[in-house]
Each structure stands twice: as structure tokens, then as C-alpha cells.
């Protein structure tokens, strides 16, 4: 066995120059194949990374869509509508419903409905009470408001220690020193027929109230 090994070594030694010439092309081919495979592997890695990035973006987009869907989820609410509509009552609607849609559910507006001060495009909210006024209810509301304003003015006058001769009733006018039932009625008659007093001095236009009486009552009256 050792003899054969020695013969092989001697053969290689004698022909090493020939072997170099034969082996060089083989080495070159192997090197080219090595670098070619290495380049393809890098491209595969880059492509894989790019695909991973795309998948990540798609994942984020799906999450964003889920968030939007959660925000847009509708829920049921209840709205009470009355006044000048055909079928007043409580109606179940979804969030985002507009007032005009609730009015339609209630059968629409009556002929005497007044909607000048009502925004029918607004969104209704859970538990809301909506009253559509008509001509009668609006008139009553205006009268009550005017009466409240008159009472407020009277109360303010009395609180300040002075009485408004343009709005006070007969009983209140008689609280002014020197003004009895007869003169109180004349004051009311004057402002009804002639118009409101423009200044406190105008009260001297009342029969029976001259300069002397005016000097007595001027600290107690206003217009």
C-alpha cells in the first residue's frame, strides 16, 4: 500500500506543471459559480425584506380600518318629539339622526307649525325633548314672556325703592306718597290713551298733580 502511495506522489511531483494548467480553468469555473450563487442569495434576502415591509404596511392599514369601523358603529337612542307634529311621541333612532328625520317619523309637521327658530338639520341626542311650536303656543309663550318682563321691571323698581309709573298697577301706584286710587287710575288712563311717560316730569300732565305734589313724589318714581 505504501508503495502505491509513493508512486502517486512521485507521479504528481513529475507532472505538477501539467496539473496546474489543467486545474486553473476548473478553479476559475468554481469561483464564478460561487460568486454567482452568493449574489442571488443577497437578492433573495433583499426581496424577502421588501415583502416583509409590504406585509407590515398592510397590517397597519388593517388596524387603521378596524379603528375607523369601531368609531362609526351606530347605537340606538331615544328622542321625545311633541308639539305641532302629526304623531307626537318617543322614537328610537340611531346616533347621527337629524331632527328632520325624526319629524318625518312623527308623521311630518302640522299646518300651523312654526319652524323659523328650529334647526331641522341638527343631530338629535339621547333623551332629547323636542317641541315644535305652533301659532297658539308661540302667542302664549310671548305673552308669558312679556308679563314676566313687566313683573321683573316692577320688582326691580320696587327693590330700588322707586316705582315705575309706566308699568306699575293701581295698587303699586298708590304706594307713592300723595297718590290715592283716583290719581292712580288717572295715571293708568293717561299712559293707555296718550302713551308712556317719557320723563317723570310728564306726570304733572295728570289732573291734580301739580308742582307741589311732584316735589313730594319725584324721589319715589321712575320711567
List, as one string, the DSSP characters of 57-86. HHHHHHHHHHHHHHHT---EEEEEEEESBS
**Domain residue spans in the chain?**
2-71, 76-133, 142-222
Dist. CA 86–CA 107, nearest whole Å = 5
Q: Which residues contact 167 (CB under 8 A, 6 or more apart)?
A: 150, 153, 154, 157
Dist. CA 82–CA 107, nearest whole Å = 11
The distance of Cα 82 from the centroid of its chain, to the nearest Å, equals 23
∠ at Cα 169 (164, 203), nearest 5°? Answer: 50
Q: Which residues of the chain have pLDDT under 70?
A: 1-72, 137-160
Burial of 33 (0-12, 13-18, 19+ CB in 10 A): exposed
Would you state the pLDDT for residue 136?
Answer: 76
Segment 110-155, tens digit of pLDDT: 999 998 888 999 999 999 999 999 887 655 555 555 555 565 555 5
Would you state the pLDDT for residue 45?
Answer: 46
Q: Which residues contact 117 (CB under 8 A, 6 or more apart)?
A: 133
* CATH class entry, domain 142-222: mainly alpha
Bridge partners, 85 (sequence order):
109
Q: Which fold has domain 76-133?
A: Ubiquitin-like (UB roll) (3.10.20)
* 75 C-beta neighbours (distance < 10 Å), count: 8
Would you state the pLDDT for residue 192?
Answer: 85
Residue 93 near residue 77 (C-beta atoms within 8 A): yes
Would you state the pLDDT for residue 100?
Answer: 97
Threshold 0.75, pTM exceeds: no
Nearest Cα residue to 77 out of 129, 133, 131: 129
Nearest Cα residue to 221 out of 195, 200, 201, 197: 200
Amino acid at each position: 500500500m505504501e508503495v502505491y502511495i509513493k508512486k502517486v506522489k512521485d507521479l504528481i511531483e513529475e507532472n505538477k506543471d501539467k496539473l496546474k494548467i489543467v486545474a486553473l480553468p476548473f478553479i476559475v469555473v468554481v469561483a464564478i459559480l460561487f460568486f454567482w450563487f452568493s449574489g442571488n442569495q443577497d437578492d433573495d434576502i433583499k426581496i424577502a425584506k421588501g415583502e416583509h415591509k409590504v406585509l407590515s404596511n398592510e397590517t397597519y392599514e388593517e388596524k387603521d380600518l378596524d379603528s375607523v369601523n369601531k368609531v362609526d358603529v351606530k347605537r340606538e337612542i331615544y328622542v321625545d318629539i311633541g308639539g305641532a307634529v302629526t304623531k307626537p311621541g318617543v322614537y328610537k333612532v340611531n346616533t347621527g339622526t337629524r331632527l328632520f328625520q325624526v319629524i318625518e317619523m312623527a308623521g311630518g309637521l302640522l299646518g300651523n307649525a312654526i319652524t323659523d327658530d328650529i334647526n331641522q338639520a341638527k343631530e338629535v341626542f339621547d333623551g332629547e325633548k323636542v317641541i315644535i311650536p305652533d301659532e297658539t303656543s308661540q302667542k302664549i309663550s310671548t305673552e308669558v314672556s312679556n308679563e314676566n318682563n313687566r313683573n321683573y321691571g316692577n320688582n326691580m323698581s320696587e327693590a330700588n325703592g322707586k316705582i315705575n309709573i309706566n308699568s306699575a298697577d293701581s295698587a303699586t301706584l298708590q304706594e307713592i306718597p300723595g297718590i290715592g286710587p283716583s290719581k292712580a287710575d288717572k295715571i293708568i288712563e293717561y299712559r293707555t290713551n296718550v302713551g308712556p311717560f317719557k320723563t317723570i316730569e310728564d306726570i304733572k300732565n295728570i289732573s291734580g298733580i301739580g308742582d307741589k305734589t311732584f316735589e313730594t313724589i319725584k324721589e319715589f318714581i321712575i320711567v
